Amino acid sequence: MRFIINEHSIEADVDVRTSLLDLLRDHLGLTGTKKGCNQGACGACTVLVDGERINSCLALAVQYQDREILTIEGLGTIGDLHPLQAAFIEYDGFQCGYCTPGQICSAVAMIGEIRRGLPSALTEDLALEQIGFSEDEIRERMSGNLCRCGAYNGIIEAIRATYAEESAQEREAAA
Amino acid sequence: MSILDSAKQAMMGAIVRLTPDAPPDPLIGRHGAVGSQLSRIDGPLKVAGKARFAAEVPYDDLLFAAVLFSRVARGRITSLDTSGAKAAPGVALVMTYQNAPRMGAPKIMGESPMAGGPSNLPVMQDDRIHWNGQPVAVVLAETQEQADYAKSLIRIAYEVEPAITSFEAAKAHAHPPESVLGEPPALETGDAEAALAEAAFRVDNLYRTPRHNHNAIELHAVTVVWDDGSLTIHDASQMVHQTAWTIADMFGIGEDKVRVISPFVGGGFGGKCMWYHQVLAAAASKLAERPVRLVLSREGVFRSVGGRTCTEQRVALGAKADGTLAALIHTGVVAMTTHNSCPEQFSFPARHLYAADAIKLAQEVADMDMLANTFMRAPGESVGTFALESAIDELAIAMNIDPIELRRRCEPEKDPTSGAEFSSRHIIEAYRRGGERFGWHRRNPVPRSTRDGEWLIGHGVATATYPYYRMPGAGARITLSADGHALVQIATHEMGMGTATVQVQHAADRLGLPIHQVSFEYGDTTLPMGTIAGGSNQTASVVAAVRAASDALFDELLRLAGNSSPLAGLKADELEARDGGLVSMQDPTRAENYAAILKRAGRDELAIEASAPPPIEVQKYSMHSYGAQFCEVRVNETTGETRVSRFVGSFDTGRILNPKTAASQFRGGIIMGLGLALTEETMFDERTGRIMNPSLAEYHVPVHLDVPHIEVIWNDIPDPHSPLGLHGIGEIGITGVGAAVANAIFNATGKRIRELPITLDKLL
Ligand code: FES
Ligand code: FES
């Protein structure tokens, strides 16, 4: 089977029962993606496929051949962190750090959803082209990513600080 | 406790009280790295996905494990058919009691300082079943998929025996435990029942709290390997040395033959101590002669790693007309097993919080056939404060006075049960500051008087409290290099509390070095033994050990410095560590840096190991942390749904070492408290003894949208009797939250709910 992971083409010969999560963790050594339940209930295993977030524990690897898979390792590295990764450190958006890669990947895709105008259960005006970055809007959209350490406040601050700033810069550039 | 033991303890107490105080830690008043908002030093690793957890350690030739659990609560295995599983593709072996290596039963935690077993049941040694969910077989295969599939082919038959799986039935035979964490299970001063009967105001009610599971997001996992009779366990552990010792003891090998390594723990909360999976993985790996990775499924965690037990508590308060207490009664019973010892010390808060003329406290346990229960964040205090602090609120309402004012009137001068002086107690100040921040004076005390459309709004408050502990026996090693770098080593634990970060801050100040010149190693049994991560004791214990090692280091440096040093003739207590060296406190021109001392002595490095002095302070003083938890809820009148809209936690926990990581710890505790208050319950089928909701989809921990911005503030008043003036803060955050929420719900709706969690149905 052939996979495109973090812009690299990778060949792997695995059991068809293997989940995308186990492919990453047990077969490819990409252990940044975490397993918290293996049942789609915690979000620790979130990765991006063609820019959209999925729970990789609920995905069979065999179905994701030739798709663009992005994991935490592809988002940034210790020497070259993605701005959101840096913001998680600055705003203390984690304690044990186990849910963190999933939170970060989920947030990156979630911002894309907001920008594309996809409403959430809390979006009041479905006709709006630009959905706001209110705290509750982000909370609702991030509620599939559990954090038992309870770093929720820091996570929301990190996301808002990163993207509120970016949005402001974009608006400035446009104007 | 025997009479002799009690007499010995009383004598010890008297001796300790006469012992003079140790001089306060000289760093208490100093501002340096301690107190700064240093970001977590393991942050880059964690956000980049590069922190390697126990299930992520690679080995060639690794086998993957799957564990099968019993479906009956009590009985014995009558037949075992593993032939299908053994013949399945990729399977290396199937382990059951019939072929497992012979091992002794684990020694229970608390039995000795090194024992860490969750219960004293043998692990897969016979056909006996003791709880519904007991591991009965382990499959090892080349891949996880193969192991999981093969597990499904195992056929087991049981002979079922009658089991006690109903709390009601078990309560009929409740009895006092031998001790409650070394304290007597029952205490009585005066005749509390009589005082209650005569009191001008009375409340007397039962409160119930359910079972809980820690549910750290990281699943319990180990990667183990045997090499020439020595066992290495890559574990997620909050007690590396005790795990190693207990497993070595079970296998009958030397303690030095087992190494436990645990650099990162994906959340612990009391749940990542020693359980069965480490033993099963080690045993199976021994049989297979290959390295093994065992990751419990989420269901497997519920089945084989214990949680917090359920409680039923009576709190009765009798007040005099002036609002002081005539009687305080807190009694109750919790479920436990005959093979463990963890009586959920719910009566502890009442031992220290309020002055009362007569006090009666008693704890009992009811033996059930279930998985051994265990410690979970603030065991005892979390659920004990729910009952006690709900009752205080009920009394305030009965007396028509403000609940904070009632607490002020009941404030004791000395510890109400031990009579000891408080080392540091500023609870009223925490209430004052918290109340100001929350806007308590704007609260309408009349229930059901504030609304916003269909949402009823209410405000509640409760006291948080948790003891200060420092465990004896922690040692640390400091290695100073000629380039002026210091390495501090101690086998302690980082589960997200910020241990690695604040200990670097501490060592930097202790040694007078900049932060980047200090590194800290922990989580490995090859290092000096530290302390378990439990009872919020770790920071105090580690600081005391590192201080002891640095004192010894300074003595040795002075010796090495010799007569040609500017320090010649000075004694260690005349010096302070500053700017990478030692400086005379009297005459700062007399100074020499570490590099120069080592160079002149011809040394590349200097390594010193020392142990902390015994924790005399806890025997001499009543040492506790306090807090005031303020909560605003919105309860939907139509659906009964409760949303927490505001929360302020105001804490009195000695000195705060790192405001950034401390705020997160307080918040984390409060959020777990919101779960305890509103959503969390491990559902136990009283017919079969089986846990019914073993998944994160059905056990509801708080999610993003359940959690508002939580404000945390603290007094930051150092405790003069603790290392650095600090108190551990890992557990206090969860205490009082259940009652603060329940009290707010009462204020919103006029409904008093005395049974957790406060789900919608209870409010309709
Ligand atoms: S591991 Fe995939 S959602 Fe929990
Ligand atoms: S940081 Fe520990 S679970 Fe989120």
pLDDT digits (tens, 9 = 90+) for B296-306: 999 999 999 99
Asked if residue B239 is part of any domain, the answer here is yes
Q: Is B640 part of any domain? A: yes
Asked if residue B200 and residue B244 are part of one domain, the reply reads no
Write out chain A residues lying below 8 Å of B51, CB-based: 97
Query: Inter-chain contact B672–A42, Cβ cutoff 8 Å?
Result: no
- Closest ligand 2 atom to residue A150 Cα is 4
Which of B53-67, B274-288, B559-573, B639-653 bottoms out in mean pLDDT, i.e. has the lowest? B559-573
> Over chain A, what is the mean pLDDT?
94
Q: Are residues B320 and B384 in the same domain?
A: yes
Task: Please state the atom number of ligand 2 nearest to the C-alpha of residue A96.
Answer: 2
B683 — phi, psi (to 5°)? -85, 125
A148 lines ligand 1 (CB under 6 A): no
Counting ligands in written order, which one lies closest to the CA of residue A47? 1
CATH of the domain at B67: 3.90.1170.50
Q: How much is the average pLDDT of B355-383? A: 98
Do B566 and B479 fall into the same domain?
Answer: yes
Tell me the pLDDT band of B1, cut-offs 50, 70 and 90.
very low
Residues within 8 A of A (CB atoms), B 537-556 only: none
B444 and B342 co-located in one domain? yes
The pLDDT of B92-121, averaged and rounded, is 96
> Residue B391 domain-assigned?
yes
Asked if A90's CB is within 8 angstroms of B697's CB, the reply is no
What band does B2 get if pLDDT is binned at 50, 70 and 90?
very low
Q: Note the maximum CA span of chain B.
A: 84
Minimal CA separation from A174 to chain B, in Å:
31
Are B328 and B424 found together in one domain?
yes
| Average pLDDT over all residues of chain B | 96
pLDDT at A124: 84
Q: Residue B566's domain is classified under what CATH number?
A: 3.30.365.10
What residues in A contact B496, CB-CB < 8 Å? 94-97, 149
User: Which of B528, B573, B532, B218 shows the shortest CA–CA distance to B374?
Assistant: B532
Give percent of chain B above pLDDT 90: 95
Least confident range from A59-68, B339-348, B392-401, B561-570: namely B561-570
Tell me which residue range forms the domain holding B226.
54-162+217-267+272-304
Q: Which residues line ligand 2 (CB under 6 A)?
A: A 94-100, 147-149, 151; B 217, 267, 496
Q: Are B691 and B684 in contact (CB under 8 A)?
A: yes
- Residue A118 in contact with ligand 1 by CB distance below 6 A: no
Q: How far is A5 from chain B (nearest CA, A)?
A: 15
Q: In what order do the strands lie in the sheet with A8-11?
A: A8-11, A2-5, A68-70, A46-49, A52-55
Within 10 Å of residue B526's Cβ, how many Cβ atoms? 13
User: Same structural domain for residues B381 and B517?
Assistant: no
Angle subtended by helix axes A100-115 and A83-90, to nearest 10: 120
Cα–Cα dist B735/B627, whole Å = 9
- State the distance from the centre of ligand 2 to the C-alpha of B136, rounded, in angstroms: 31
Question: Which chain A residues are Cβ-neighbours of B294 within 8 angstroms?
Answer: none
Q: Which of B193, B686, B731, B755 is catalytic?
A: B731
What's chain A's length in residues? 175
Residue B13 in domain: no
Q: Which residues touch A9 (CB under 8 Å, ≥6 apart)? A: A2, A3
Predicted confidence at residue B3, as pLDDT, reads: 43
Size of interface A-B (CB pairs under 8 A): 192
Domain boundaries, chain A: 2-75, 83-174
CATH of domain A2-75: 3.10.20.30
CA of B663 to nearest chain A CA: how many angstroms apart?
9
Chain center to CA of B363: 20
B434 close contact with A: CB closer than 8 A: no
pTM of the predicted model as reported, rounded to 2 decimal places: 0.97
Return averaged pLDDT per consecutive 10 residues of chain A, 175 residues in all: 97 96 97 98 98 98 97 97 98 98 98 93 83 91 98 97 76 65
Q: Give buried/exposed letters for B1-25 (b at 16+ CB in 10 A, else e).
A: eeeeeeeeeeeeeeebeeeeeeebb
Considering only alpha carbons, which residue of chain A is nearest residue B661? Answer: A92
Percent of all residues in chain B with a pLDDT value above 70, rounded to a whole number:
98
Do B123 and B249 lie in one domain? The reply is yes
B474 CA to centre of ligand 2 in angstroms? 28
Q: How confident is the model at residue B110 (pLDDT cuts 50, 70, 90)?
A: confident
Query: What is the Cα B451 distance to its own chain's centre?
Result: 38
Q: In angstroms, rounded to a whole number, what is the distance separating the alpha carbons of residues B261 and B233?
A: 6
Q: Is the CB of A101 under 6 A from ligand 1?
A: no
- Pocket probe mutation, ligand 2, options A72, A96, A106, A156, max atoms within 8 Å of Cβ: A96
Whether residues B113 and B223 share a domain: the answer is yes
Question: How many domains, in total, are found in chain B?
Answer: 3
In 3D, which of A106, A111, A109 has the Cα closest to residue A152? A106
Residue B141 domain-assigned (yes or no): yes
Q: B351: exposed, middle or buried (C-beta count within 10 Å: 0-12, 13-18, 19+)?
A: buried
Amino acid B10: pLDDT: 54
Q: What is the pLDDT of residue B23?
A: 83
pLDDT for res B18: 67
Q: Does some domain include residue B24?
A: no
Q: Which residues of A touch B218 (CB under 8 A)?
A: 34, 36, 96, 98
- Looking at residue B508, its amino acid is A
pLDDT tens-place string over residues B404-448: 999 999 999 999 999 999 999 999 999 999 999 999 999 999 999
B/e letters for B489-508, b = 16+ CB within 10 Å, e = fewer, are bbbbbbbbbbbbbbbbbbbb
**pLDDT of B17 above 60:** yes
Listed in sequence order, the DSSP H helices in B356-440 are 381-399, 403-409, 427-438
Cα A47 to averaged position of ligand 1 atoms, centre (Å)? 11
Q: How far is the CA of B738 from the centre of ligand 2 (A)?
A: 22
Here the contacts of B124-128 (C-beta below 8 Å, separation 24 or greater) are B124/B95, B124/B96, B124/B97, B124/B100, B124/B280, B124/B283, B125/B97, B125/B100, B126/B97, B127/B76, B127/B77, B127/B78, B127/B97, B128/B75, B128/B76
Which of B595, B614, B633 is the last residue in one of the domains?
B614
**CA of A41, nearest ligand number:** 1
Residues B529 and B550 in one domain: yes
**Average pLDDT score over residue span B13-29:** 77
pLDDT in the model for residue B31? 84
Q: Which of B522, B495, B524 is nearest to B506 (CA)?
A: B522
Question: Rounded to an integer, what distance in angstroms lies between the CA atom of residue B35 and that of residue B385?
Answer: 30
Q: Which atom of ligand 2 is nearest to the CA of B217?
A: 3
- Whether B344 is catalytic is no
Contact B469, B183 (CB under 8 A): no
**Residue B628 and residue B721 in one domain:** yes
Q: What pLDDT score was predicted for residue B600?
A: 94
**The two three-digit tokens of residue B83, written as one number:** 């032939």
CB contact under 8 A, A25 and B56: yes
- The torsion of the CA quartet B53, B222, B672, B51, rounded to 10 degrees, works out to 0
Listed by number, the residues of chain A in 44-103 with a beta carbon closer than 8 Å to a beta carbon of chain B are: 44, 71-73, 76-78, 81, 85-86, 88-90, 92, 94-101
Q: Which residues of chain A are within 8 Å of residue B699 when distances are taken between CB atoms?
A: none
The amino acid sitting at B105 is A
Chain A residue numbers touching B668 (CB-CB < 8 A) = 95, 149-151
Atom of ligand 1 minimally distant from the CA of A40: 3
Q: Does B249 touch chain A (CB under 8 A)?
A: no
Please name the residue of chain A whose CA is at the shortest distance from the CA of residue B497.
A95
> pLDDT tens digits for B689-708?
999 999 999 999 999 999 99
Residue B42 lies in a domain: no
CB within 8 Å: B695 and A34:
no
Q: Are residues B403 and B512 in the same domain?
A: no
Chain A nearest CA to B515, separation (Å): 17
Determine contact: A148 vs chain B, CB below 8 A. Answer: yes
Å between A175 CA and nearest CA of chain B: 33
Alpha-carbon distances, residue B448 vs B56, B445, B459, B649, B761 (angstroms): 53, 9, 11, 24, 18
CATH architecture of A83-174: Orthogonal Bundle (1.10)
Residue B8 has pLDDT above 60, yes or no: no
Q: What is the ipTM of this complex?
A: 0.96
Strands B575-578 and B710-714 come out as unpaired
The answer to the question of residue B11 being in a domain is no
pLDDT in tens, B599-630: 999 999 999 999 999 999 999 999 999 999 99
Tell me, yes or no, whether B678 and B748 share the same domain. yes
Judging contacts by C-beta atoms under 8 Å, the chain B residues touching residue A155 are 704
> How far is residue B625's CA from residue B719's CA, in Å, rounded to a whole number?
10
Smallest CA-to-CA distance from A101 within A49, A150, A65, A155 is with A155
Q: Is the pLDDT of residue B32 over 70?
A: yes
